[in-house]
Amino acid sequence: MTAGTANAQRFREFKMPDVGEGLTEAEILKWYVQVGDTVTDGQVVCEVETAKAAVELPIPYDGVVHELRFGEGVTVDVGTVIISVDTDPGAGPVEAPAAGGAAPAAEAPDEEDAEPQGRQAVLVGYGAAPTSTKRRARKPQPGVPAQPAAATAGLQAELNGRSAPAPMVAPVAPAAPAAPVVPAASAAPAVSAGRPLAKPPVRKLAKDLGIDLATVAPTGPDGIITREDVHAAAAPAAAPAPAVPAEVPVPTAVVPAEPGIVDAAARERRVPVKGVRKATAQAMVASAFTAPHVTEFITVDVTRTMKLVQELKQDPDMAGLRVNPLLLVAKAFLVAIKRHPEVNAAWDEANQEIVYKDYVNLGIAAATPRGLIVPNIKDAGVKTLPQLATELGDLVATAREGKTSPAAMAGGTVTITNVGVFGVDTGTPILNPGESAILAFGAVKLQPWVHKGKVKARQVTTLALSFDHRLIDGELGSKLLADIAAVLERPKRLITWG
């Protein structure tokens, strides 16, 4: 067994998994371990944020942390190695191949035509090969010193997402006196003369920011462009012009700014769009420009419902449960869907079919520090009021802690958004992609209301229902909203209609 094979069996690499549904990248929020720490199979080693939620990742090996490939705050593609573990730390130092036992990559025969072996399938294309990429030696360019082959192989391995092999130290030949002096401006590595060197996540960042990598000055080792280089290249467009020193003459063609005028860019901040915010933006745009939205409104007297909320708080069967108006709004929504089951459907564009669902997964829009998420209560339509209260309380608590799993946000059919907690009367909510309807519950306010022929102070709220007009006609949507309001106006209908 060669030293390389033994090391590969000893050092196990853990790659960024797809923790959601077809996600392609995740940001490392926090490492719970450091190099040299002992880990066990199933131990959580880091927390990552995907486009849907924050998820803790367990390591599937026993051993000692040998290397952390990325720091906190770095976005990593799915399938990229993020940590390696020494599964046999008592075996002593790592064995190095004998000197001269491995030929430089430049001396390898034409192996670039051979089929790659041992590649692992990832979301798009194939993963990195287990060995460094072999390629023909570059022809030396006049006036530019050629890089050693080992350095080229290490640079290529680093770009492929793997640690670079140990460089082979060779004697340094003395410079010839007659050699021409190369200006400092052309002292960049030879590889930078062609395609700019950058890792895939950095290339994606540059594309998103509209930055041409060929114009970016690299600061990474061997001329690699880093994320910081890309951000620095994008910053001048937003940053204010530097102040001109007094001793430097100002060209007469420049018109000085009027006194009191401050550059707006100096008072602006730019934050990269990523994680939950990025996913929310994409989902809302896709929904708004795919499903034809119709929004209807109704104002309703909910005085009896608010009294019922207070009575339920004293009910022994609801002891220890979170009872609030949202709970009864959710129950009213479910009762109305039961009376009009055709609204609980989805549009299948690919197959040109309408999918009617005999279950209701009720989504609850929740504002979290990371952005808006919509976890849902599975099979909410068949749950009792105490069960619904339990699920609703757990859902909200988990969301506030940032521990909502991607599975908890998948498969929703309809959603409620409680804008009333912010003192807002109502809104025109946008559908969660793949769902048929969303109900906005506004603030409950004491207002003058005609009750039994007299104007009295009553507790009133406004409901707004947005629905997919491909699935729900105006008549059906109106009946659904009217039934929700009828239940909240006379909550005894929870019994007679439920």
Residue among 363, 497, 376 at smallest CA distance from 439: 363
Would you state the structure tokens that stand for residue 302, as one six-digit string?
């909910």
Q: Which of 231, 293, 340, 469 is catalytic?
A: 469
Examine the residue annotation and report whether 293 is marked as an active-site residue of this protein. no
Whether residue 176 contacts residue 145, with contact meaning beta carbons closer than 8 Å, is answered with: no
| The dihedral sign for the CA sequence 58, 64, 66, 67 | positive
Residue among 392, 386, 438 at smallest CA distance from 415: 438
CA distance 171 to 155: 21
| The dihedral sign for the CA sequence 112, 116, 117, 119 | positive
Would you state the structure tokens that stand for residue 211, as one six-digit string?
């930055």
Count CB neighbours of 128 within 10 A: 20
How far apart are the two ends of the chain, measured CA to CA in Å?
71
Q: What is the DSSP string of 295-344?
A: EEEEEEE-HHHHHHHHHHHT-GGGTTS---HHHHHHHHHHHHHHH-GGGS
Work out whether strand 11-15 and strand 81-86 pair parallel, antiparallel, or are unpaired.
Answer: antiparallel
Catalytic residue positions, numbered: 469
